[in-house]
Amino acid sequence: MRHSIKLYYQLRKVSIWTILVIVTIFGLSSMALNDASWYQARNAFDRHFDARHYYDIQDYANSLVGTKKAEKLVNDWQKKAAYGDTEKFKGNSQSNQLFLYLSTINPNFNNSTNSYRKMIKILPKTFAGFKKEVLQYYGDRKESSDSSLSASIYVSNNSVTSIGGSSASNYVLLPITAKSSKNAGPFNRDGFYAQAFKFNQSDGMSSVLLIILIGAIFFLIDQTHWINAYMLQRTKNGIQVALAKTFWLFFLPSVLAIFWAVFEYLTKILLIPGEFIKLHFSWLLQNEIIVLEFATILVAVGLLIDSFSALFLENSTLFLPLGSVSCWP
């Protein structure tokens, strides 16, 4: 078996290293893009929010409890969610600002209740708590596809995305004002847009899918260029040939992809303040197991196909002399 692994590496070492480099680029790109997204979101938050204004809005929200204006606001907010009148908040009224404050915590805050009192209860008591809630790098919110679509009503087209994704992804909505406006500034009277910032913990799935595609191509190329036949003449064992190829094309790159996903998780605490990171390692472990199971199933299919091909060649009389075998595409 060790001989088969070494032999295939000699035949395909350039391709193998290319795959490993691609997986590494995917892993590092995911980490860099997600970190950049968080810092952009933090800068947008600091430009538009401060403690004094937060407590003013909080007092304004509490002053409306039990009034007819509160009922009107609830109706207006639910109409926005239902019809999506515009992506822009026209004017800097306190009601518009309150709506954005609530949306930054939960873009779908008005989908589950008609009670104004319950809606504003999601506002943290302190500004520090509000900032922590909004800039949480990963969230426990598990939005359905429908709620994500409804939330996109308030999202501009300049959302920040990342390579790879996960079920623990989190996004926040923050105000963006036009730089060319004469009244530019936080919540200016010309209105403001809401921009989405997405934070995703990569689970390695995108890399594994790429590995499967590349591996399948090389499995096919190996058969059409007689690498299988060449290895069979050297090893005399079709199963070992298939296992050697699976090790280099699927197993090792998949383990590397998972390593980068775990590395991304472990290094977050060094790049982002710990209070803004909320992700349990058990969740990451569960997702990596799912990725491995998914990869194992597809690898088994490729291995089965290649084994049949190798066994066919092993029993055939179509072997070429060793010196005449072409080992490269």
pLDDT, tens digit, 9 for 90 and up, residues 265-319: 888 888 888 888 877 677 677 777 777 777 677 667 666 666 666 556 555 544 4
Which tens digits make up the pLDDT trace of 116-156?
999 999 999 999 999 998 898 876 544 433 333 223 323 33
φ/ψ of residue 51, rounded to 5: -60, -45
pLDDT, tens digit, 9 for 90 and up, residues 82-118: 544 445 677 678 888 898 899 888 877 887 788 999 9
pLDDT at 259 over 80: yes
Looking at residue 137, its amino acid is Y
User: Rounded CA gap, 218 and 224, in Å?
Assistant: 10
Q: Are 99 and 6 in contact (CB under 8 A)?
A: no
Residue 111 has a pLDDT of 79
pTM over 0.85: no
